[in-house]
Amino acid sequence: MQGVDEPDPRGRVNLHLSGLDLDRNPDVAVREVRVLASNWHVLRTTRFDERQPDGTWISKQAETYDRGNGATILLYDIARRTVLLTRQFRFPAYVNGHPDGMLLETAAGLLDEDDAETAVRREAMEETGHELDEVQHVFDAYMSPGSVTERVHFFAAPFDAGTRRTAGGGLAEEGERIDLVELDIDDALAAIGSGIVDGKTIMLLQWAALSGPFRR
């Protein structure tokens, strides 16, 4: 099978071994890992035993989607009280009820082989065209821990006319079509739940208002 004993499209093998060596939780024992798909990211089903409060063990199964870890960043201008967001088409949201699939988001992407700060600087440049000076690490979060392994690293950084290097818009060779949207912070906060429905973006906007650059 691809990803197990044959290389998958990314050249990976032994993907069925992930998790078998976990021993950090004495109440969980991983018994079996099976790879269901490994086209670009990896879908696995894992059987494990979990010890209950009365000492008995029960068998459970978890299906996990491993797409690697990611990073996202909120760009803000304190003087003008604005934030810079992106707008792009997201098919998973479109197929699950979003009117047109065009989501307002903070710049973001997968780490790939980079550390989190390097990756988020890369994504900010590709998507917004801004080359950032100092960036602030805000927090990390698991966005869908019931099924997706991804841990997202959240950052924030100031931007202005002096940090702009290109028009942004994403990588044409990867088929990206990203628009830039600059919003007043109060308008952005008011749009949460209606015009802004992306989780990572909502979290960073609320951080900015509660304890970040726009805290009162």
Name the residue ranges covered by the structural domains of the chain: 15-66, 70-210
pLDDT surpassing 80 at residue 174: no
8-state DSSP, 61: E
Residue type, 202: I
Q: Quick count: other Cβ atoms within 10 Å of Cβ 164? A: 14
Residue the block writes with tokens 């208002």: 209
For the residues 115-134, what does the mean pLDDT come to? 97
The whole-number pLDDT of residue 42 equals 97
For the residues 42-51, what does the mean pLDDT come to? 98
For the residues 98-127, what does the mean pLDDT come to? 97
Q: 143-146 — which CB contacts under 8 Å span 24+ positions?
A: 143/199, 143/200
Q: Give how far Cα 133 sits from Cα of 101, 111, 157, Å.
A: 32, 19, 8
The whole-number pLDDT of residue 173 equals 78
The whole-number pLDDT of residue 127 equals 96
- Fold (CATH) for 70-210: Nucleoside Triphosphate Pyrophosphohydrolase (3.90.79)
pLDDT surpassing 90 at residue 170: no
Percent over 90 (pLDDT), the chain:
92
For the residues 137-147, what does the mean pLDDT come to? 97
Q: 44-53 — which CB contacts under 8 Å span 24+ positions?
A: 44/15, 44/16, 44/18, 44/19, 46/19, 51/26, 51/27
For the residues 100-115, what does the mean pLDDT come to? 97
For the residues 68-95, what does the mean pLDDT come to? 98
Average pLDDT, the chain: 96
